Amino acid sequence: MLNHLHIENFALIEDIDIDFYSNFNVILGETGSGKSILMDALSLLKGSKVEYEKIRFGKEKAFIEGVFSIDNPFLLKTLKDKYIDYIEGNEFILSRTLLSQGKSIQRLNGHIVSLNVLKDLMKEMMDIYSQSDTPFYFDEKIHTYLLDHFKNLSSDEEKIYLDYQKAYKDYQDNEEKLDEIKKMIKLKEDEDYLAYQYEELNKADLKENEMEELEKKVSSLQNILTLVDKMKRFKEACETSLSSLYDAKKIVESIDEDLYKENKEAFIDAYYSLDESIDHMNELFSASLGEISEFDALKSRLTFLHSLKRKYGESTSDFIRKKEELKLLLEDLSDINIREEKLLKEKELLLKNVLDKGEILNDLRKKRSESLIQIFDEELKKLYFHNASLKVELNPCENFTMEGTYKARFLLRTNIGMNYLPLKDTASLGESSRIGLAFKKIFIEENQKETLIFDEIDIGLSGLASKYIGLEISEIAKNMQVLLITHLPQVAIYGNHFYLVEKEATFDNTLTHIRPLKDNEIYNEIAKMISGKNHDEESIQLVKSWLK
């Protein structure tokens, strides 16, 4: 329920605050006073597209805020479960800020939320019905849904729906399996090539991460090859130099003069140290040669694995996964024709089951149609539409769906002796109002919102017809909050709370205000709707008699 509405700097509205109540709230005001601005603001809270030019001239932003409460326990639980981070109690504050730069910001209890969150939340909370909207009941695609949901199903009736839906799902599952089989049959044409690929991968004797580890090892051995070349040249140089140094050592050893003793010993020590270092270098070199002996084999294996990359993926894991996929695919292809034949036989039985269950469901819908027609025609009579009558056609579907093998189509006859025609082809503006209201009344329990807003739906109605519109809306308002904008006194008189929208113009500014009406103000404003601004006491007394 909408408890409070605050609007700042939106079109002709500078700053207004207004409280609304449960049951029937009637909004009055002359044409052009700004009632449509109020509707635009409420539409924005429902997530409608922003017209940024409606930000009040000279202002950087507009602000619209609604305080809502949730009275329906089931709806409260649903919304709290869905928006657990935003809604705690049974009340929430929703706002939209429109920025002159062309942006809007939505907040739910102070938290910034996406426009989709706002739309999803408000579609459960509030419904706006306007003459300018294309009536929802014109869409024949939803007629079957409306027929199925205009009143609760008994457990036996629900079982009929569930039985059909299960039959349809089983049939669809079979169709999906057959589609997969057809794709695989096309693959069977390439069975020899698939078998070749599997054999190639199977013979490759693949190990997890093998290619990646080989790449590291071969890269390392490439470095050793460069070292080996250097070691060969080092060894050759050492062999020549060490032979000369050996001869030099022998000569030094034969020198017995004390003058050379210290240098002689140093030279001999250096010779043996150098000889030892060369031996160590040669040992390391020999070990490297042992690793290099497997280099060619490793490089050959790596070249082979790289050739597989072009066919089967980027890594050894891809090759192994592909091999397993090919193995399973080849196993599946081995009996594909037998499986197709089995599925085709099952399809015949499943199709028969769908059609049988569809007929049972259609019989149920025929009974529901009779009930809907009776209730709908009664509602039309309440709305002073005595000779109108609904007809429900149940036509076979070209392609049956989860809804059934037949689809519903609503037709209307507005006068005795006329043909039944599609709803969109039968109703005038005033008739559309009453037909739409009849649908709303019938389906309100199934699709109950916290707040229902009617925006001048009584345009084009005569006085007597409008009286019945008022009665119907007042019935709806017994179970939910209703906001109604109207220009007809015969409708307004059924309200519980009244508000006046007024436009104030000065020499340099124009503002729209809204305020609640009390007692005599209510009589005066409704009397104006009867006899104009210069209403008389007779009009006021007439209104008082209506409001008793």
Closest among 478, 488, 493 to 548, alpha carbons compared: 493
Instruction: Yes or no: say if 527 and 485 are a contact pair by the CB < 8 Å rule.
Output: no
Q: Kindly state the average pLDDT of the residues 181-203.
A: 71
Greatest mean pLDDT among 265-269, 278-282, 388-392: 388-392
Fold of 1-131+456-517: Rossmann fold (3.40.50)
Domain spans, the chain: 1-131+456-517, 210-314
**pLDDT above 90 for 65:** yes
Could you tell me which of 446, 518, 527, 462 has the C-alpha nearest to residue 493?
527
Confidence of residue 3 (pLDDT cuts 50, 70, 90): very high
pLDDT in tens, 300-325: 777 777 778 777 777 788 887 877 87
3-class SS string, 285-354: HHHHHHHHCCHHHHHHHHHHHHHHHHHHCCCHHHHHHHHHHHHHHHHHHHCHHHHHHHHHHHHHHHHHHH
Q: Are strands 126-130 and 451-455 parallel, antiparallel or unpaired?
A: parallel
* pLDDT score of 25: 95
pLDDT band at residue 460 using 50, 70 and 90 as cut-offs: low
The radius of gyration of the chain from alpha carbons, rounded to an integer in Å, stands at: 44
| Stretch 258-282: mean pLDDT | 81
pLDDT score for 472? 85
CA distance linking residue 512 with residue 353, whole number of Å: 64
Instruction: Determine how many CB atoms are found less than 10 A away from the CB of residue 194.
Output: 18
How far is it, in rounded angstroms, from Cα 208 to Cα 378? 76
Sheet holding 421-422, edge to edge: 389-401, 404-413, 421-422
How much is the mean pLDDT over the chain? 83
List, for residues 476-520, the tens digit of each pLDDT value.
Answer: 888 889 999 988 888 888 889 999 999 888 877 889 999 999 888
Q: How confident is the model at residue 533 (pLDDT cuts 50, 70, 90)?
A: low
The CA distances from residue 544 to 26, 497, 501, in Å, are 16, 15, 21
- Kindly report the number of other CB atoms within 10 A of residue 244's CB atom: 9
The per-residue pLDDT for 374 is: 93
| pLDDT for 186 | 67
- Which backbone phi and psi does 542 adopt, to 5 degrees? -65, -45
Coil, helix or strand at residue 404: strand
What's the rounded Cα separation, in Å, for the pair 34 and 13? 8
Residue 548 has pLDDT above 60, yes or no: no
Is there a contact between 313 and 319 (Cβ–Cβ < 8 Å)? Answer: yes
Q: Are 43 and 496 in contact (CB under 8 A)?
A: no
pLDDT digits (tens, 9 = 90+) for 166-184: 999 999 999 998 888 877 7
Average pLDDT over residues 134-154: 84
> What average pLDDT score do residues 228-251 get?
77
Rounded average pLDDT over 43-64: 91
Long-range contacts of 159-163 (CB under 8 A, 24+ apart): 160/357, 160/360, 160/361, 160/364, 161/361, 163/357, 163/360
Q: What SS3 state is found at 180?
A: helix
